[in-house]
C-alpha cells in the first residue's frame, strides 16, 4: 500500500493555546527546555513578546 501523499498540515502559523503561552506543558516552555540557562532564556521570552529582536543573544 502506497503511503498517502495527502498534505500534512504545516506547523507554520500554529498559534499556542492562549492559556498556555507562558506557563506550559512539560517540554513546551523555554524555561522547561533549558533549565540550566534561565538568564538568556528569560531575556529571550521578554523581548520576543515586545516585538524586539535585534538584541537577542545567539545560542
Partner 1 sequence: CSRLHTKPSISPTLLLANMYQRPDMITPGVDPQGQPLDPTKIQQHFEDFYEDLFEELNKYGEIESLNICDNLADHMVGNVYVQFREEEHAAEAVRNLSGRFYAGRPIIVDFSPVTDFREATCR
31 CB burial (10 A radius; 0-12, 13-18, 19+)? middle
8/1 Cα distance (integer angstroms): 18
Q: Which residue carries 501523499 as its cell? A: 5
Pick from 22, 23, 42, 57: which binds partner 1 (CB under 8 A)? Answer: 57
1 vs 27 by CB, closer to partner 1: 27
CB 35 → partner 1: shortest distance, Å?
A: 9
Binding mask 18-47 for partner 1 (x = CB under 8 A): --x----xxxx-x--xx-xx------x---
Amino acid at each position: 500500500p502506497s503511503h498517502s501523499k495527502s498534505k500534512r498540515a504545516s506547523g507554520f502559523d500554529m498559534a499556542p493555546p492562549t492559556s498556555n503561552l507562558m506557563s506550559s506543558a512539560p517540554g513546551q516552555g523555554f524555561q522547561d527546555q533549558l533549565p540550566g540557562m534561565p538568564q538568556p532564556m528569560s531575556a529571550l521570552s521578554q523581548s520576543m513578546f515586545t516585538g524586539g529582536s535585534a538584541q537577542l543573544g545567539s545560542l
